[in-house]
């Protein structure tokens, strides 16, 4: 079982790097969806023989939402916005990829040094969970399109969920479900917002969303 979990960990990590190096938004959406679904499989593998509501209902909803519903919502918003490619990020894609690797190395270094009750079942997966979290955060700050930022947000959530799986014994169903519901509504509302942005502005570049500023434009005095 352990080697299966490690296999998932490595795949999740590779998906982080793929999302970082891909300029096609459609494939980014699919990568993050696959990542979410893959992480959703972990509890199924972990508790494989025993069948309880928590071990069946929740993972199933989780996998369906993250693997099917979210990408569907996002791809719909993408069609409405009529774009395919992300703008070149700061430093280009090779630099992004390097950042991804650096984030993982740093996460691994931190995790392997921390002691205490948080001795995870698998150091690799713990490091991957942190790396996924920070890769998501990095995508949010380095990419320009609104939709890519949502992808980053989902990746960040994937990282948190993986963290919970690695470190914690099972959660109550109510809690898991309500967190999932929140994320679902978040993606839904963000999808609507992207739709409105593309209609109002004819683009979804958040870099150009910069009308709201603080200091008086011409420096005139009252």
Partner 1 sequence: MITILLIVVPFFSGVVSFFIKDDRPRRALIAVCSIVHLIMAIAVFNFYNKTQGPLAEWFGFDDIGIIFLLITSVLFSGASFYGIRYLSDEEKYAHGGVKGRGLFSPEAVFGGCFQIFLSTMTMVIASRHLAIFWVGIEATTLASAPLIYFHRTKMSLEATWKYLLICSVGIAVALLGIFVLAVANNNRADLFLARLIENANCMNKLWLKAAFLLLFVGYATKMGLAPFHAWLPDAHSEAPSVVSALFSGALLNCAFLGILRAYQICAAAGLGPYCREVFTVFGLLSVIFAAIFILRQGDYKRMLAYSSVEHMGIMSLGIGFGGIAVFGALVNMLGHSLVKAGLFFSAGNILSYFRTKRIEDVQGLMSGKTRRLGVLWMLGFLLITGTPPSAIFFGKLIILRQALSAGFYAVSIIFLAALVIIFIGMARIVIFMTQGENTCQARGDDSYNVKGLTRLCVPAVFFAIAIILGLYFPDWLTGILESASRSLGGP
Q: What residue ranges bind partner 1 (CB under 8 A)?
A: 114-118, 133, 137, 140, 146, 149-150, 153, 156-157, 159-160, 163-164, 167-172, 175, 178-179, 181-182, 185-186, 189-190, 193, 196-197, 200-201, 206, 209-212, 214-217, 220, 222
User: Helix or strand or coil: residue 113?
Assistant: helix
> For residue 77, what are the contacts with CB-CB under 8 A and spacing of at least 6?
147, 191, 194, 195, 198
DSSP-derived secondary structure for 162-188: HHHHHH-PPPPHHHHHHHHHHHHHHHH
Beta bridge partners of residue 24, listed in sequence order: 85
Q: Give whichever of 12 and 94 is closer to partner 1, judged by the CB atom.
A: 12
Choose between 37 and 197: whose C-beta lies nearer to partner 1: 197
Distance CA 57, CA 159 (A): 21
Nearest distance from residue 220's CB to partner 1, in Å?
A: 7
As measured in angstroms, the least distance from the Cβ of 193 to partner 1 is: 6
User: CB of residue 102 vs partner 1: minimum separation in angstroms?
Assistant: 20
CA distance linking residue 43 with residue 215, whole number of Å: 51
For the CB of residue 149, give the shortest distance to partner 1 in the complex, in Å.
Answer: 6
């Amino acid at each position: 079982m352990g080697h299966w979990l490690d296999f998932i960990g490595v795949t999740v990590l590779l998906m982080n790097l793929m999302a970082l190096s891909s300029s096609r938004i459609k494939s980014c959406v699919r990568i993050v969806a696959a990542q979410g679904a893959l992480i959703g499989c972990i509890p199924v593998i972990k508790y494989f023989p025993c069948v309880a509501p928590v071990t069946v209902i929740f993972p199933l909803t989780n996998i369906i939402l993250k693997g099917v519903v979210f990408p569907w919502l996002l791809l719909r918003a993408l069609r409405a916005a009529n774009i395919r490619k992300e703008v070149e990020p700061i430093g280009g894609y090779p630099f992004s990829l390097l950042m991804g690797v650096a984030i993982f190395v740093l996460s691994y270094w931190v995790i392997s040094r921390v002691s205490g009750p948080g001795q995870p079942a698998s150091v690799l997966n713990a490091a991957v969970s942190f790396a996924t979290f920070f890769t998501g955060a990095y995508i949010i700050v380095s990419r320009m399109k609104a939709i890519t930022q949502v992808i980053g947000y989902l990746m960040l959530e994937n990282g948190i969920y993986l963290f919970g799986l690695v470190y914690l014994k099972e959660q109550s169903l109510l809690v898991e479900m309500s967190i999932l519901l929140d994320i679902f509504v978040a993606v839904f509302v963000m999808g609507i917002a992207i739709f409105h942005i593309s209609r109002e502005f004819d683009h979804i570049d958040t870099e150009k969303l910069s009308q709201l500023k603080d200091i008086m434009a011409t420096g005139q005095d009252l």
